[in-house]
Structure 1
Amino acid sequence: MNGSRAWRAYLLAGAAGMAVFVLLPYGMPRDVACVLGGLAAVTAMLCSVARRRGGAVLPWTLLLLGQLAMTAGDALWVYYQHVAGTDPFPSAADGFYLLEYPLVAAALFTLVRRRRPSGDREAWLDGAIVAVGLALPYWVLLGPDPGGHDSVLTRVITLGYPVGDMLLLAGLAVVLTVTGARTPALRMIVAALGFLLAGDVLFVLVDDPAGLALPVDVLPYLLSYLLWGAAALHPSAADLLRAGTEPVTFLTPRRLLVLTAVVLLAPGTLIVQLALGFELDSWAVAIASVLLFLLVVARMAGMLRRLEEQARRLDEIARTDTLTGLPNRRTMDAQLAREYERAARDAVPLTLALIDLDRFKRFNDTHGHQAGDALLSGAATAWSLALGGGDMLARYGGEEFVLLMPGRDPDGAEHLLAALRAATPQGQTFSAGLALWDGRETPLELLNRADTALYAAKEAGRGRTERAAPGGGRLSGAPVRDAAG
């Protein structure tokens, strides 16, 4: 039987067994049926572990051991009740029951850590907030009073059950907030945990289960057994550790609503106790409130860091050309305005060149647009390595670049352009128009003069640099000696 049929057959058989279980009389038949249900889950999980390879073996092995401990506790309890005729507390059965909690919790945290190896700090904080918020009312309303027992061991065992439930609650909260519980197997594991916790709650609240028409004190445990086994047999059990790609750390409206409701459980618990006249659990409420406050502050700090990082990235994207990694036109315009102020203040030359790769359209048509993009990116990288510390190269659009050279006169600028021309990759050439700021013209006028000189260089045969005469006069200068074509 393949995996897609095995888990369905297991569920159908389990549903039939549950129907029979409800009809059984209270006492030994029902208790033995619980043991058989646990053994069925152990068998299904054992089959799953035997088929698994790699990292998925560990969490399934831990879940198997947890279910085995629970089943062993059920078997011992049947022996005490119906064979030995005693009801000892604490007993070895309690030891097995309590052993299940850390084993299952370890499995949950293992699969969460494996599914999110990079670590989503905000998601983990959300899980901690949910766990603390839900643990408080559980402890206040259902937590036992260990002071009513004389033996230290009895006190430890008595406290062990609510502490174990809170451990599972923390694991369940982290699974839901960090992983999103996307696969069917993981959803069934989450449901099994929910039934297990519900069974512990009903066990505390139901005083006389023998007088009830339905075995509500035992049904949640049997449902958890059924879901453990179905999850283990489901085909998606092999993908239990598959890293999730869905965003789970964004503060969506639903997540914000859940976190708000959970945080309000602390004052809400106190209000309920005051309104109903219950004894106040001041220490529990105070400790939970402090923990929730610190977790919420940490969550807010994480959100601020994320927003700052996103703002920094957006600013970088807005200032950078995505293809070449060079500053874009907007950044160049801002830098040019700053260099204007510096040149006027310090009385130093400011030279600007417009650079245009020659016959770029023909290169694109011949070699393809991807090759054209590679040429632009390679040229930008090669030219950047030849620049001095104060020079700035920016992509101005298409195959056109702007080179801002504060502190360089036209002769020095031409030497730098010659070095850039020699570094141009794939044997390509470029034409350049060079303009020296006259101390009066606007940045747009300076760029227009450089653009006019660039077109003159193109018309003169390409692969050369032309200087723009001050004030838009006629062009002067000679071809660069290493000009090509």
Structure 2
Amino acid sequence: MSQSLLHRADREQPVDVTAMRATDREADAGDTFDATRHTRAMHLWLLWLGGAVVFAVGQAFTDPKGPVGGLMSFSMPVLFTVGILGGVLVNRPRPRWPWLMLASAGLVTVIGYVVWTSGATTLAFSIFMTVYPLEAIALLLIVRGGSWRQDRAGLLDTAMISVGLGLACWMLVITPLLQVSTDLPGGPLVALFPLGDVLLLSVLVRFFISRGLRNAAFWQISVSLLFQAVTHMASLLPTIFSAGATDVRALSSLSSFLIAAAAFHPSMRTFSGHEPRLATEMSPRRVLLVNLAGMAAPGLLIAQGVLQHGKVGWLAAGVGCILLFALVTLRMIDLVGEVQDKARQLDAVAHIDALTALPNRRAWDLELDRRIAAAQRHGTPVVVAILDLDHFKRFNDEHGHQGGDELLTTAAAAWRAQLRPEDLLARYGGEEFGAIFDHSRLADADRIIERLQAVTPLGQTFSAGAAQWNGTETAEMLLARADAALYSAKRAGRDRVYVSPTR
């Protein structure tokens, strides 16, 4: 529905929604994703998946060190980039630039391969490392839009789980790899590659912590991230355990093909940039993940001690504990803040009149008891007045309920502006308002009420009854005297103020 129509100057008039829909269809005619294009995208998606299976099977039967195997490995990032660009051209997502950013990860990988073949191994692996953050940022922008910055609770929970994953990776994978780094191509830098996999897994955790649109494209990206982490870890673990190398090229290629397949699938249009609903409640799954992250440091110390014959990475575990404690503290502060916000909202609902934004009857009763108690302690005078708009029912009948509501809101605002900071004006009920004048006697209250009469809006008047606390009576007795004075004013013809003599 067109926002320009919703915000037009004559928005007071009823809006023809049918006309608005027709206008929107005409405006979007140049970018309509019709059934023909949807069918074409589905055919391309199926063709792409079929090609991915053929490529992966062929790769499984080729020698990785041979010319064909090398050419297939080099062509994979190129196909990754071409596939995403093709999906963007076919489906035309909005916005497009996160997808283009994701496609650039393939080009960066190609550059890394070129540098690798030139002999600059360390520089090549440095280039390869940049692919991880580039891919992670692009995917967050595609799947979560800008909402990832708004969900503080989700970010903290993701950070806690990521610290746990990172600690496990460091103690059980990276530390052993650093001990045999001389056997790795690229030296110690290769041992840090699992941190990139932790980053991708953190993106995957972020996807599932908040609620969003989970369609075919989303699941393809999620499975791809999982495949990437598994294949990278599987290629490094044989080095740790001195086992034979496992050829995981086919699975690695499938992970790249799956992300490009997500770009080809028509569902990518509906979730690209889609703003998810923030999942602020702590679901059982979320509680379990956060608790597992919190137990990561002591659990990993035990596991490392068993696997490495008593040798433990106390420094990594200590840093991990500090980070987790800091994140848990921030999460608790965030939860306490949410509880306080809810409490303030409930308090406002319970004590504020929704129409006039004045304190309601409940707030009036509490405040009157408090002020009478304070007057009793300090020996100060206090006056209570009840104001009743004259002939409100007739005004309501003539001007409708909206007119009556306008009278109540404008009168409340005008009267409140004339009161002193220590005075209280509340909506007592219906067209009746209550006022408490602290440190005042009847003469003081009368002068204030006279000012209120002068600013009563829309040419209306009110009747008022006032009573000064006698030093011993209860709030109910004081209100009864003010109420009796009000009815005397109304019986006398309205538009006047009656006061109850102090007994």
Question: TM-score, normalization: structure 1?
Answer: 0.82
Does structure 2 conserve the Cα–Cα contact (< 8 Å) formed by 1:128 and 1:174?
no
Aligned-residue offset at 1:355: 0.9
CA–CA separation in structure 2 for the residues paired with 1:146 and 1:349: 81
Aligned-residue offset at 1:225: 1.8
1:14 aligned to 2:48? yes
Aligned-residue offset at 1:443: 1.0
* Residue of structure 1 equivalent to 2:495: 463
The code of the aligned residue for 1:103 comes to: L
The code of the aligned residue for 1:295 comes to: L
1:141 aligned to 2:172? yes
Percent of residue pairs bearing the same amino acid type = 35
Does structure 2 conserve the Cα–Cα contact (< 8 Å) formed by 1:116 and 1:179?
no
Give the match's secondary structure for 1:343.
helix
Q: Which moved more, 1:137-146 or 1:403-412?
A: 137-146
* Residue of structure 1 equivalent to 2:108: 69
Aligned-residue offset at 1:247: 2.6
* Residue of structure 1 equivalent to 2:421: 389
CA–CA separation in structure 2 for the residues paired with 1:322 and 1:458: 27
CA–CA separation in structure 1 for the residues paired with 2:152 and 2:430: 42
CA spacing shift, 1:345–1:103, aligned 2, 3 Å: closer
1:122 aligned to 2:153? yes
Aligned-residue offset at 1:393: 0.6
* Residue of structure 1 equivalent to 2:11: none
Aligned-residue offset at 1:49: 5.0
* Residue of structure 2 equivalent to 1:353: 385
Which residue of 411, 414, 417 corresponds with 2:443?
411
Aligned-residue offset at 1:55: 8.0
1:287 aligned to 2:319? yes
Which residue of 399, 402, 407 corresponds with 2:434?
402
Give the match's secondary structure for 1:368.
helix
CA spacing shift, 1:381–1:216, aligned 2, 3 Å: farther
* Residue of structure 2 equivalent to 1:159: 191
CA–CA separation in structure 1 for the residues paired with 2:218 and 2:390: 60
Q: Which moved more, 1:290-299 or 1:161-170?
A: 161-170
* Residue of structure 2 equivalent to 1:320: 352
CA–CA separation in structure 2 for the residues paired with 1:2 and 1:228: 23
Structure 1 residues 216-246: Cα deviation after superposition (integer angstroms, max 9, x where no partner): 61233222222211222344545533333x1
1:452 aligned to 2:488? no
Does structure 2 conserve the Cα–Cα contact (< 8 Å) formed by 1:382 and 1:425?
yes
Aligned-residue offset at 1:200: 0.5
Does structure 1 conserve the Cα–Cα contact (< 8 Å) formed by 2:41 and 2:90?
no
CA spacing shift, 1:300–1:380, aligned 2, 3 Å: same
* Residue of structure 2 equivalent to 1:231: 262
Which residue of 425, 430, 445 corresponds with 2:457?
425
Give the match's secondary structure for 1:280.
coil
* Residue of structure 1 equivalent to 2:23: none
* Residue of structure 2 equivalent to 1:333: 365
Which residue of 239, 244, 266 corresponds with 2:297?
266
CA spacing shift, 1:365–1:467, aligned 2, 3 Å: same
**Pairwise CA RMSD of aligned residues?**
3.5
Does structure 2 conserve the Cα–Cα contact (< 8 Å) formed by 1:181 and 1:187?
no
Does structure 1 conserve the Cα–Cα contact (< 8 Å) formed by 2:144 and 2:207?
no
Structure 1 residues 71-90: Cα deviation after superposition (integer angstroms, max 9, x where no partner): 5667898xx7xxx9xxx793
CA–CA separation in structure 1 for the residues paired with 2:432 and 2:266: 56
Structure 1 residues 118-161: Cα deviation after superposition (integer angstroms, max 9, x where no partner): 63322211111111111222233322533545699933532342
Give the match's secondary structure for 2:495.
coil
Give the match's secondary structure for 2:316.
helix
Question: TM-score, normalization: structure 2?
Answer: 0.79
Does structure 2 conserve the Cα–Cα contact (< 8 Å) formed by 1:434 and 1:453?
yes
Does structure 2 conserve the Cα–Cα contact (< 8 Å) formed by 1:6 and 1:234?
no
Does structure 2 conserve the Cα–Cα contact (< 8 Å) formed by 1:457 and 1:464?
yes
CA spacing shift, 1:285–1:348, aligned 2, 3 Å: closer
CA–CA separation in structure 1 for the residues paired with 2:343 and 2:449: 36
CA–CA separation in structure 2 for the residues paired with 1:226 and 1:67: 11
Does structure 1 conserve the Cα–Cα contact (< 8 Å) formed by 2:481 and 2:500?
yes
* Residue of structure 2 equivalent to 1:479: none
* Residue of structure 2 equivalent to 1:257: 288
Q: Which moved more, 1:329-338 or 1:390-399?
A: 329-338
Aligned-residue offset at 1:367: 2.6
* Residue of structure 1 equivalent to 2:95: 56
* Residue of structure 1 equivalent to 2:81: 42
Aligned-residue offset at 1:430: 1.4
CA–CA separation in structure 1 for the residues paired with 2:234 and 2:222: 18
Which residue of 98, 112, 131 corresponds with 2:162?
131
Structure 1 residues 341-382: Cα deviation after superposition (integer angstroms, max 9, x where no partner): 333344443221111112222333333323322222221111
CA–CA separation in structure 1 for the residues paired with 2:440 and 2:237: 86
CA spacing shift, 1:396–1:126, aligned 2, 3 Å: same
The code of the aligned residue for 1:393 comes to: L
1:26 aligned to 2:77? no
Structure 1 residues 291-322: Cα deviation after superposition (integer angstroms, max 9, x where no partner): 21221122112212222232233233322222
Which residue of 225, 236, 239 corresponds with 1:204?
236
Structure 1 residues 21-68: Cα deviation after superposition (integer angstroms, max 9, x where no partner): 465323255665555554443223223556899983442222111123
CA–CA separation in structure 2 for the residues paired with 1:55 and 1:16: 27
Structure 2 residue runs of 5 or longer lacking an equivalent are 1-34
CA–CA separation in structure 1 for the residues paired with 2:77 and 2:184: 31
CA–CA separation in structure 1 for the residues paired with 2:258 and 2:456: 66
Give the match's secondary structure for 1:56.
coil
CA–CA separation in structure 1 for the residues paired with 2:333 and 2:443: 54
CA–CA separation in structure 1 for the residues paired with 2:148 and 2:137: 16
CA spacing shift, 1:72–1:5, aligned 2, 3 Å: farther
Does structure 1 conserve the Cα–Cα contact (< 8 Å) formed by 2:485 and 2:498?
yes
Matched length: 458
Structure 1 residue runs of 5 or longer lacking an equivalent are 472-485
CA spacing shift, 1:306–1:90, aligned 2, 3 Å: same
CA–CA separation in structure 1 for the residues paired with 2:480 and 2:501: 12
CA–CA separation in structure 1 for the residues paired with 2:223 and 2:149: 26
The code of the aligned residue for 2:426 comes to: A
Give the match's secondary structure for 1:325.
coil
1:5 aligned to 2:5? no
Give the match's secondary structure for 2:493.
coil
Give the match's secondary structure for 1:353.
strand
* Residue of structure 2 equivalent to 1:477: none
The code of the aligned residue for 1:274 comes to: G
